[in-house]
Structure formats: C-alpha cells, structure tokens
C-alpha cells in the first residue's frame, strides 16, 4: 500500500509557479495579485485566509485581504467585488466561504469576473470546464488530478467512483475525469448518500474519490481489494487525548481501509495541501492572461 502525500506534489507545483512568476515579472513587468474577501470572523476561515496571504507573500506577489463585519450588506459586498474586478493589479478574487446567511453566495460568485475567478466557481468557468474548453478549474479537484498524475496512477479506461456531488468537489472532478485529458479519460460514476446501498457502488471502483463530508463514512467493506482511495474529506472530531481536544480525520476510515488499498491519501497530509497550491496556479494563469 502506497501513501499518496500531498506535500511533494504541492511543492512541485509551487516551484513551477514561482519560476513562471519570476519570468512574468522579468519579461512583462506583471506581478500577480490576489484579493481575498473575508466577511465575519469564522475562526477556520480566518486561518485559511492567513495561509493564502502568507503563500502570496512567499511568492513575492501582491496580497490584499479585505476584512468586513458579519453585518455587511449584500450590496456593499457586491460593490467591493466590482471594485476588485476593475483593479488591474488584482488578478484573482475569492470571497471566503461560509458567508453570513443574509448574503446570496451564488450572486456574489456570479459578480466576480470569470477571468479573476481563481476558485473556479463562476458559471462561465464551470460551463467551459464541462465542455472541455480552457477555464479556471476548481482548486481541490484540479489538485486531485495533479496527485494522480504525479504518482503515476493510470486513470484512462479505469472505473472511477466519486462519492459526493457538491459543486466544489464532486461534480467538477467527475466532469474532469471523464474528459480526454491528462489524469482523465476514465469511466465515471457519481454516487452519494441518497443511494440505497452506497457500498455496492463504491466497491466497483478502481479509483474511489470520497468527498461527502462525514467522518469515516467509508468503511473497509465498501472498498474493493487493490483500489486507489482519494479521501478529500477533512472533519474535526473530539479527541480528549489531544492537546487541542480534537483531531482531523477524513471521510474514509483510514485504519480499516488502508490495508485493502494499493494506494490511499492520508488525512491530514493528503489532498488538503493541494488546494492552496492550485489556487496560486490559477492566479498565475489569470495574471498571464490565459483566459482573455
């Protein structure tokens, strides 16, 4: 059983981003810029936003963090997004979720310029991705494909089951993997918790990608011998033996499932490390003008 760690893949991508960014500054005088909007004071979101800002700074990029109170109006947020759309020094915009319930998140996403939508959530980018045109792609699914390619896991013609149907992971990765592309050309099934017998579907997978958001949902009896398992889930569970009082686990019961696998991602240390790396990759592509 091989452990598929995210760190070496993320480091490889970030080094490529760093090299191409240096060339972009030298040849065209363009320094990539990323703006993150944080509405409210969700602790997890604040931590994630700080990580993005630090990564930008390590690359020598422009980094803006727009922090706003939780009672910010939707109109004011949309006006802020539009002003960032018009800022030529900003190439990537993301509004950190979750946002307060009185704001329509989909309307916010649709207000971001598709060229600056480095999360890959805008309907224009989603539509282009589905029909196989160049687009900003959702960071986590794109990161999963990069991991599969990096570790030499063959996907062409293999049976892939995606457990989960979110707009952030499940739907985009299913669409990416069925296309004739690097890390794709697979036979893809999408399953979810609405299935009468989820295990009967997941056991068919040569490659099982789990993104449901329930800790240890996938057990050993739901995975066939020799499968590759990609666990996208990150869940916090109580653990009185930990100094923090909790620990992070995936959507897969790792200890029980790992002995059956040919390869599996750990949680933490697997897919989660890829998301920020792919965000930087998307921001560079926007700065370079790949989507005009």
pLDDT tens for residues 73-117? 999 999 999 999 999 999 999 999 999 999 999 999 999 999 999
Convert the pLDDT of each residue in 114-169 to its tens digit.
999 999 999 999 999 999 999 999 999 999 999 999 999 999 999 999 999 999 99
Predicted TM-score of the model (pTM) = 0.94
29: left (phi over 0), alpha (psi -120 to 50) or beta: left
**Sign, CA torsion 61/13/157/257:** negative
pLDDT at 9 over 80: yes
Quick one: pLDDT at residue 92? Answer: 98
Residues with active-site annotation: 52, 96, 119
Work out the mean pLDDT of the chain and round it to a whole number. 96
Convert the pLDDT of each residue in 23-77 to its tens digit.
999 999 999 999 999 999 888 888 889 999 999 999 999 999 999 999 999 999 9
| Average pLDDT for 173-200 | 96
Share of the chain above pLDDT 90, in %: 92
Quick one: pLDDT at residue 242? Answer: 87
Strands 159-163 and 187-191: parallel
Quick one: pLDDT at residue 137? Answer: 96
Quick one: pLDDT at residue 47? Answer: 87
Indicate the pLDDT class of residue 256, thresholds 50, 70 and 90. very high
Share of the chain above pLDDT 70, in %: 100
Instruction: For the chain, list the domains and their CATH numbers.
Output: 29-114 (3.40.50.10860), 139-274 (3.40.50.720)
Indicate the pLDDT class of residue 244, thresholds 50, 70 and 90. confident
Indicate the pLDDT class of residue 292, thresholds 50, 70 and 90. low
pLDDT at 251 over 80: yes
pLDDT at 194 over 70: yes
Quick one: pLDDT at residue 143? Answer: 98
Quick one: pLDDT at residue 42? Answer: 86
Indicate the pLDDT class of residue 229, thresholds 50, 70 and 90. very high
Quick one: pLDDT at residue 44? Answer: 82
């Amino acid at each position: 059983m091989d452990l598929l760690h995210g760190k070496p893949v993320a480091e490889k991508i970030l080094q490529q981003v760093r090299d191409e960014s240096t060339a972009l500054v030298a040849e065209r005088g363009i320094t990539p810029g990323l703006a993150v909007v944080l509405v409210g004071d969700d602790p997890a979101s604040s931590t994630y936003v700080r990580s993005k800002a630090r990564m930008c700074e390590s690359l020598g990029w422009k980094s803006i963090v727009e922090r706003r109170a939780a009672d910010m109006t939707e109109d004011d947020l949309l006006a802020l997004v539009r002003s960032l759309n018009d800022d030529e020094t900003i190439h990537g915009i993301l509004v950190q979720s979750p946002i307060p319930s009185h704001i329509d998140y989909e309307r916010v996403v649709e207000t971001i310029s598709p060229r600056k939508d480095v999360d890959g959530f805008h309907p224009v980018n989603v539509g282009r991705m589905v029909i196989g045109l160049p687009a900003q792609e959702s960071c986590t699914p794109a990161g999963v494909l990069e991991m599969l390619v990096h570790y030499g896991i063959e996907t062409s013609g293999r049976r892939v089951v995606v457990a989960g149907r979110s707009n952030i992971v499940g739907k985009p990765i299913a669409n990416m993997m069925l296309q004739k592309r690097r890390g794709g050309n697979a036979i893809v099934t999408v399953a979810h918790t609405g299935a009468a017998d989820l295990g009967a579907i997941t056991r068919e997978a040569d490659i099982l990608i789990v993104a449901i958001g329930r800790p240890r949902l996938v057990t050993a009896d739901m995975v066939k011998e020799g499968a590759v398992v990609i666990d996208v889930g990150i869940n916090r569970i109580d653990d009185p033996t930990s100094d923090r009082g909790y620990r992070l686990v995936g959507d897969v019961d790792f200890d029980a499932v790992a002995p059956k696998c040919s390869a599996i991602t750990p949680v933490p240390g697997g897919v989660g490390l890829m998301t920020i790396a792919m965000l930087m990759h998307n921001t560079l592509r926007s700065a370079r003008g790949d989507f005009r």
